[in-house]
Copies of this chain bind each other. A is one copy, B any other.
């Protein structure tokens, strides 16, 4: 928030992806190693499990050594998140012109990538958009314009898909309750006054993937209509 005095040492700027020539020497600590280890730690211990001390331990260094390569713990979060979101594109498409299949593929992959690292969902969205996230937005934009979305609607269309994916993913990651938890929640509905959603078993419905796809279809129908 408030600008932090300086930090203007020789670090590379955050979240850029220019090619880095691997030096032949074996620097024991590097941005790349720190980020990769942070992801491992987050996968193993969750969001609260990542502390600078534990991260340094895993890397075999002192805590403060990390701060040469990285600005702050927030910086580590930004980098770890983006590192989990790279996208290599759809498999060879039967019909390369099928924009709808292409966008569904990317968005399902996006969601799946985040759900493989559930901490990433609670981290989103961050102030800083990394190169992988921007790359996905760029790709979406191209597909949508091939699909005939008008320029005037383009930004709203992109953000509506973004919103949908983010909401779905964040929700799915945090509602991963045990069956008992879900049953208890549903139970509560009966005893109080939520009869309609009790009857439709809103909190018991387990088909997250199907619901994601169905809602996405609603939205794409709306986008391509007219």
Chain A residues at the B interface, C-beta cutoff of 8 Å: 16-17, 124-127, 129, 131, 134-135, 137-138, 141-142, 145, 151, 153-160, 162-168, 170-171, 174-175, 177, 181, 185, 188-189, 192-197, 200-203, 205, 210-211, 214-223, 225
Tell me whether B138 and A200 are in contact (CB under 8 A): no
Q: Is the CB of B137 within 8 A of A214?
A: no
> What are the nearest 10 A-B pairs in CB distance?
A160-B215, A163-B167, A167-B167, A222-B222, A218-B222, A166-B167, A221-B222, A156-B214, A163-B168, A141-B196
Q: Is B126 a contact of A163 with CB atoms below 8 Å?
A: no
Chain B residues with CB under 8 Å of A157's CB are: 215, 218
Check A171–B166 contact: CB distance below 8 A.
yes
Select A218's contact among B17, B194, B200, B219, beta carbons within 8 Å.
B219
CA distance A125 to B214 in the complex (A): 21
Residues of B within 8 A of A202 (CB): 137, 141, 155, 158
Chain B residue with the shortest CB-CB distance to A134: B194
* Shortest beta-carbon distance from A27 to chain B in Å: 26
Is B166's CB under 8 angstroms from A200's CB? Answer: no
A222 in contact with B211 given A127-B174, A202-B155 (CB within 8 Å): no
Can you list 15 residue pairs at the A/B interface with Cβ under 8 Å? Answer: A16-B192, A124-B170, A125-B175, A127-B181, A129-B185, A131-B192, A134-B194, A137-B202, A141-B202, A156-B211, A159-B211, A160-B218, A160-B219, A163-B164, A170-B170
Kindly list chain B residues whose C-beta atoms are within 8 Å of the C-beta of A219: 160, 164, 218-219, 222
Question: Which residue of B137, B154, B166, B225 is within 8 Å of A222 (Cβ)?
Answer: B225
Once bound together, how far apart are the Cα atoms of A214 and B154, in whole Å? 11
Give A136 Cβ to nearest chain B Cβ, in Å.
10
Quick check: A194 and B163 within 8 Å, CB to CB?
no
| Interface contact A163-B163, CB-CB below 8 Å | yes
Question: What residues of B have a CB within 8 angstroms of the CB of A211 in the complex?
Answer: 155-156, 159-160
